[in-house]
Amino acid sequence: MNELQTTCDARVKDLIVSAVEIASQCGCAMSIDEVALLLPQGLGLENIREIILGSPLISVFFGAEKELVVQKGYEHLFSERAYRNDVSKRYLETAKIFVQELIRRSFHVKLIGVCGSVAYGSATASDDVDIFLVTKRHRLWFSFSKALLLARVFNIKALIKGGKADFCLSYVQDEEHFEEGIKNHRTPLFAREFLSIRVLAGINYYTTLLNRTKWMWQMFPRLHAAKLSERVGDKTSLSGEKTSRIRICDALDLFIYVIVRNYLMLKAFSRNLRYRKQRRMNDIFEVIITKGSCLYNSEKYRELEKRYKLSQLLGDESTCLNWSRKKN
């Protein structure tokens, strides 16, 4: 075997192992099909399966329906997969009701869905439901303030019934800022998160964005294609607003921004202080707030972003495809 072939083999194996490690550290036991979605198109399922079964860094569970894989030391995720899927489905159903109530009260939503652990199917009972929200231009703080109040109502109702419904509006932007970000923030983790959103309203807008993002397709061609193919009709209608109210709404949105921004900054400071006292350093987060954006970036997220960048570097070159052709 020549030097180039050896390099290709090592690059492909590292890419697969890295994908499994990242998923395991995020609490997810993946099937081989799910691993394949994160890899270049030229890698066949049999090639992937062969590498996984031969890797000393990966554990495999041979189930009745699918083979599940995790990083060595995370074998407990095999038995937790069904539980985590059930929790995620339950939280997703609660999120659907939340979204229906929100869009009844707001005419400004362009896209809303669930991201994070619930979207990946790896949620536990202690997790929040992460909401991904994009609004119309200059209408962010209208929808955001209503979403915050509605989230509090849902939480109180759930507590009264002895349950839990904690919504975290961790990624909120208006369409102008989001479209600018999706064009310029070309990182593997951003692409992975966007391609994993469980869209609950605004599927047509989401599909339009998918068709514009060739760079995401280049990073995750299989996952991008799968997301386009699963597109279904959006049963939730998003209303418009009357033109006569536009100027009044522009001024009111700015006024709400000033008030809510101070509240969010104070809340973030208080929560980070609690995390420091509890020595939960990975949960400490930075909140970035502008007129058209409110984003939460935790230490854990930044570390994950580094891991994804390293993983993407392993698969950038065409040697992965050359490897697959030679093997076949």
Centre a 10 Å sphere on the Cβ of residue 58 and count the other Cβ atoms it contains: 20
Mean pLDDT of the chain: 85
* pLDDT score of 326: 46
Residue 100 has pLDDT above 80, yes or no: yes
User: Nearest Cα to 20, choosing from 76, 62, 78, 59?
Assistant: 59
* pLDDT score of 246: 62
d(CA 197, CA 161): 29
Residue 321 has pLDDT above 60, yes or no: no
- Greater pLDDT, 168 or 318: 168
- Token pair, residue 86, equals 């059930």
- 171-180, 227-236, 245-254, 261-270: which range is least confident on average? 227-236
* pLDDT score of 88: 96
238 and 201 Cβ atoms separated by less than 8 Å: yes
Residue 237 has pLDDT above 80, yes or no: no
Domains of the chain: 3-78+317-327 (1.10.10), 85-306 (3.30.460.10)
d(CA 129, CA 154): 12
* pLDDT score of 91: 95
- 2-16, 62-76, 171-185, 228-242: which range is least confident on average? 228-242
d(CA 311, CA 25): 14
Taking residues 252-267, report their average pLDDT.
89
Q: Is 169 helix (H, G, I), strand (E, B) or coil?
A: strand
Residue 128 has pLDDT above 60, yes or no: yes
Q: For 210-219, what is each residue's pLDDT tens digit?
A: 999 999 998 8
Residue 322 has pLDDT above 50, yes or no: no
Residue 200 has pLDDT above 70, yes or no: yes
Taking residues 182-207, report their average pLDDT.
92
Residue 287 has pLDDT above 70, yes or no: yes
User: Which residue carries 């391609």 as its tokens?
Assistant: 195
pTM of the model: 0.85
**What confidence category does residue 66 fall into, taking pLDDT thresholds of 50, 70 and 90?**
confident
DSSP structure class, residue 328:
-
Angle subtended at Cα 228 by Cα 222 and Cα 232, rounded to the nearest 5 degrees: 140
* pLDDT score of 151: 94
- Greater pLDDT, 134 or 320: 134
DSSP structure class, residue 245:
G
* pLDDT score of 236: 57
